[in-house]
Structure formats: structure tokens, C-alpha cells
Amino acid sequence: MQFTALQIATLIQGKIEGDPDAKVSTVAKIEEAGEGTLSFIANPKYEEYLYSTNASILIVNDSLEITEKVKPTLIRVKDAYSGFAFLLEKYNEIISNTGKVGIEEHAHVSKTATIGNNVYIGAFSYVGDNAIIGNNVKIYPGCYIGDNVVIKDDTKLFAGVKIYDGCAIGNRVIIHSGTVVGGDGFGFAPQNDGTYRKVPQIGNVIIEDDVEIGANTTIDRATMGSTIIKKGVKLDNLIQIAHNVEIGENTVIAAQTGISGSTKVGKNCIVGGQVGIVGHIQIADGTRINAQSGLSKTVAEPNTALTGSPAYDYKSSLKSQAIFRNLPELQQRLFKLEEMVAELTSLLNKQHVKENQ
């Protein structure tokens, strides 16, 4: 499938510099692009490829300055990265739109379930009693939808997703393979004999609109009430969200992060990979937590940057790291200062003895 520069520019509201009839049929990274490919430049460190690339069309920022002749047709937009991402989204919709509708053989759908229009339910999927499935929902093979689950319009569940009883999924949510929503929270009461008694987890999980959840992520149901993932949240693969956690709007969390029970994460936060967060704390809006950090207390100040374990202010951490790297040199300087102090003390003592003779 081919697209012209004019078609692309019209779609992303860009300005063309070059041949509006230039055609592309695929996309590629700027350093690997060849004839007939579309690419982009958003990061200044890739601008060197602007004059050597064989791409036919490049999406670039309005602010990019051209110092010599370029081969590709350029399409200038305010934000090249966002423009290219939008195009990839539309391209993916085209190539992945199989038009699948209906219930495949060997899928089980309860007679009491409500199924919307243009729904696809793949083979070996299970839809429980009183479940409500909205319009244009895609449920790929091997999914489990428990009793009383609500899934709203245009949501997509890839193969092997499990949604436990009573959970609610919003509009335009994407959940990737192997993810479990609504499993029991980790609640066990210690007994006098050293054993543990399971605390029933009777709440649910609520996932609001426009959330995307990566593969093999787990979101536990609340002990009571709801674990809540608010609208616009993006969760990577292999994340653990414990019972009664709340993730604020448009927060993004990278892989292998674990959030303990009843913690409240604010909106527009950025959490790096392999971060550990203790339970029963609050994290202010706009907080940024560096990868492999361990957060053990509430973050009250919005837009704080944290790193380390235990995590603390990012700038202070960098200063501490610089000092740590210089410790051997500082140690030698300290030894020399101690020697000088000892010599001065000896001289002063001798002078004191002479004065008292």
C-alpha cells in the first residue's frame, strides 16, 4: 500500500518541502531507511542522517534548520515524534484490521451476557454470567471474562487475558496477552500458631478509559472497594499493582515495577523500570522516579524527581554520587591534613615547653 507526501501531510497537518507526489510503502528508522520508505527526525543527535539518508519522505520539526541540500521530501510539523507516532497508529489500524466480527467456534458465552454490536470473541474464550460487552470490542482467543464484568466500547483484549468477576473496563482500553485483572490481593492475617489465614478479597478493579496495559501485568482486586487505574494510564509489561492501589490520570509506569497495597499514585507521574514502592503512601502529581529506585515514604511535593534506594531528591543524589566517586582522593587529603595537624600540634607543644622553662 502506497501513500504520497501530500496524503501524509494532509493527515498530520504538515507543510511539504519537496515533491508532493513522492511515494512510500513502508516505514524505517532514519539510519536504515531506503528508497520508498518514510522516516522522521525528532532527536537532534540523528540530524546527521538528514543529508545521507535514502528515505523518500521525512517528517521533521518546524524548527529544524537545513544547511545543505537534502534528498527526501520533507514534511514539517510542530512535533515530529508525535506526528510519526500518529501515522504509525493509523498504519497499524489499516494492516491489523481483519474485520473479525462474531463468536468463533468453541467460545463460551453465557446466555445471560449482553453482547454489543460488531463484537469479536475468539475461540476458547469464556464470557461469564451477566457480563456486559460493549460495541466493537475485540476479545482474542483464550480470554476469560468473569461473571458481572463490564467491558465498554472499542476495547481490545489480546489472547490469554483474564478478567476476574465484577471488574470494570472502560472505553478504548488495550490489554496485552497474559495480563490478569482482578486476582486476589496479597492479604493474609498471621495466627498465634505461626500460620497465616487468608483475608477474603471482595472488592474489584476499575480500569478507566484510554488505558493500555502491557503483557503479563497483574492488577489485584481490592480487599474492599476498588483498585483503580484512571484514564490515560500506560502500564508496561510485567508490572504488579497490589490491592486498593490507585494510579492517577496519564501516569506511565515501566516494566518490573511493583506497587504495594493501598498506595495512591498521582496524575502525570513517570515511574521507571524495576521501581519498588511500599504500601499505604501517597505520591504527588508529576512525580518522577528513576529506574531501580525504592520509595519508602510519602511524596508530598508535586513534580519531585527521585532516585536511589531509599529514593531521595534527584539533584541531591547526583551531588552525592559525585562526592562518592571522589572519596579515595578525599581520603588522601584527609590523611595529609591529619599529618599537618599532628606536626603543628607537636610544634605548639614544644613552643609551650620552651616558654615555661
Segment 192-205, tens digit of pLDDT:
999 999 999 999 99
Residues with pLDDT less than 70, the chain: 95-99, 312, 357
Cα end-to-end span (Å), the chain? 105
For residue 350, the model assigns a pLDDT of 80
- Domain residue spans of the chain: 3-96, 102-315, 326-355
Distance CA 126, CA 15 (A): 49
For residue 91, the model assigns a pLDDT of 78
For residue 95, the model assigns a pLDDT of 66
DSSP output for 51-81: GT---SEEEEETTPPP-S--SSEEEEES-HH
By annotation, the residues acting in catalysis are 243
Q: Which three cell numbers stand for residue 196?
A: 497465616
Say what the alpha-carbon torsion angle 244, 249, 252, 253 is, to the nearest 10 degrees. -10
- The CATH homologous superfamily for domain 102-315 is Hexapeptide repeat proteins (2.160.10.10)
Do the two domains 3-96 and 102-315 of this chain adopt the same fold?
no
What CATH number has the domain spanning 3-96?
Answer: 3.40.1390.10
Task: From 280, 313, 282, 309, select the one nearest 298 (Cα to Cα).
Answer: 282
For residue 164, the model assigns a pLDDT of 98
Pairing of strands 114-115, 218-220: unpaired
Pairing of strands 196-198, 188-190: antiparallel
pLDDT tens per residue, range 281-312: 999 999 999 999 999 999 999 999 999 887 76
For residue 348, the model assigns a pLDDT of 86
